[in-house]
Amino acid sequence: MIIIRNPERSEWAKIVERPHLDVSQLNDTVASVLADVKKRGDDAVKGYELKFDHVDLPTLAVSEEEMNEAEALVSADLKAAIQVAHYNIKTFHESQQFKGKKIETQPGVVCWQKSVAIQKVGLYIPGGTAPLFSTVLMLATPAKIAGCEEIVLCTPPGRDGKVNPAILVAARIAGVSKIFKAGGVQAIGAMAYGTQSVPKVYKIFGPGNQYVMAAKQQVSLHDVAIDMPAGPSEVCVIADKHANIEFVAADLLSQAEHGIDSQVFLITTSEQVILDVQAEVNRQLDLLPRKEMAAKALDNSRLVLVSSLQEAIDLSNAYAPEHLILQVKDYAKVANKVVNAGSVFLGEYACESAGDYASGTNHTLPTHGYATAYSGVNLDSYCRKITFQHLTEDGIRSIGRAVELMAEAEQLEAHANAMRVRMRTLNIKD
């Protein structure tokens, strides 16, 4: 763990900088796979599943029989936990439903918006060392609430050709329409272009490794929308002298176990906190099954000592973390100063794990500093706002001359004339 004490503000840009990967060769590989999937469809997807996931698939679609089998394999306790999480996620996202109203901007000019669901969405759920069934709930639940007509899910199968049963149970609970056994770049290509089995969607959601992220960004240039750009997961903890050291260490480690490229950042006003957190992290680290992975992430972690809480929140805002945990006595006051963060956790009992699973907020969040400009996934992510306007004769009288003058000033005569002919019909003089 790298300790930085009282850095000058001129050093902050370097402190908050994320690692930059050379993706030039990776992008070529991704482009090649995407082109093949676009050309050959299912055959290409099955070929890459054999090559990368080492499984020979006769079909890509998950059958109803496999769905029922998964139900029997998931314990009643886990199923109940998934139901609790789904209820909370559903409750929170239902509260975000848009209620538009008609506004009369001028006499006879009425404008309004209507929220319309994206008809077809694709969800990518990683498998590998940590099959993220919680992400199924986070992505499918708001899609269902929004009213998306088709919710397509792709996830890599195991070597037995089966999808993790908890993923299938979560998908059924959340209302997924169709599930396919496909991972990596080939899954993104299948949803972006459509294949003989996999429907083409209009927007793709979900996390993944650097190949998946590169694939999402490439298909977003011409073929399909995506939720957001993304990098490795990250947490920033701000702690003062009142912080619970055991909790702080546990929060840092819960992030570090995601992967060796996870970002772990502690900002504190106390030298003693740095020393105590180091010792407690080492103690807890020895108890983790994913110890080696977490240790590698911690090698690049930063523990930063600053002179005040104002400086701490300024540094955090410069970092723009995916997750921000405020383990400070006056967390409400500090929270009011947060301007760049994906999701914020207030007080010693609000751990990142709560938001990752069951508090109700969405865990699909902007990383790599994108919290300066992007929101996390929410109900609006699955909707479009269509604007409407209605003009009466009074409306033409109210704004007709202004429209005509502005169009003429921009030298767009056809625009001016479209309004002018209406004004003439109504005997409205220039």
> Who contacts 414 (Cβ-Cβ below 8 Å, separation ≥6)?
none
Task: Confirm whether residue 415 is marked as ligand binding.
Answer: yes
Give the integer Cα–Cα distance in Å for 54 and 52: 6
Q: Give tens-digit pLDDT for 32-77.
A: 999 999 999 999 999 999 999 999 999 999 999 999 999 999 999 9
Q: Residue 214 sits in a domain of what CATH number? A: 3.40.50.1980
Does residue 280 share a domain with residue 263?
A: yes
Residue 128: which pLDDT band, with cuts at 50, 70 and 90? low
Of 180, 201, 226, the residue that ends a domain is 226
Do both 61 and 199 map to the same domain?
Answer: yes
Pair (221, 237) in one structural domain: no
327 band by pLDDT with thresholds 50, 70 and 90: very high
pLDDT band at 429 (very low <50, low <70, confident <90, very high): confident
Indicate if the pLDDT at residue 290 is higher than 90.
Answer: no
CA distances from 402 to 105, 180, 249, 320 (A): 14, 55, 62, 43
Same domain, 259 and 242: yes
Q: Are residues 188 and 118 in the same domain?
A: yes
**Residue 106, annotated as binding a ligand:** no
Task: Indicate if the pLDDT at residue 143 is higher than 80.
Answer: yes
368 annotated ligand-binding residue: no
In a domain, 189, yes or no: yes
- Do 187 and 132 lie in one domain? The reply is yes
Q: What is the pLDDT of residues 352-369, one digit of tens each?
A: 999 999 999 999 999 999
pLDDT single digits (tens) 197-244: 999 999 999 998 889 999 999 999 999 999 998 888 899 999 999 999
Indicate the residue among 226, 260, 293 that finishes a domain: 226
Residues 221 and 243 in one domain: no
Q: What is the structure's pLDDT at 288? A: 92
Domain that holds residue 405: 392-425
pLDDT at 129: 65
233 annotated as a binding-site residue: yes
According to DSSP, the residues that pair with 267 across neighbouring strands are 238, 304
**In this predicted structure, what is the pLDDT of residue 194?**
98
Alpha helices by DSSP H, listed for 118-244, are 133-146, 165-174, 184-193, 210-219
Percent of the chain with pLDDT over 70: 99
pLDDT tens, residue by residue, 375-406? 999 999 999 999 999 999 999 999 999 999 99
Residue 255 assigned to a binding site: yes
Residue 93 annotated as binding site: no
Decide the pairing of beta strands 178-181 and 150-155.
parallel
- Residues 44, 190 share a domain: yes
Q: Is residue 20 pLDDT above 80, yes or no?
A: no
Tell whether 164 and 83 lie within a shared domain: yes
Mean pLDDT of 143-165: 96
Query: Known catalytic residues?
Result: 322-323
The letter for the amino acid at 121 is V
Residue that is last in its domain, among 168, 193, 226: 226
Q: Is 336 annotated as a binding residue?
A: no
Clarify whether residues 121 and 194 are in a common domain: yes
Task: Determine the 3-state secondary structure of 313 from DSSP.
Answer: helix
Tokens of 85: 């999480």
In this prediction, what percent of the chain has a pLDDT beyond 90?
Answer: 89
pLDDT of 24 reads 74
Torsion of Cα atoms, 201 then 203 then 208 then 209, to 10°? 90
Do 306 and 284 belong to one domain? yes
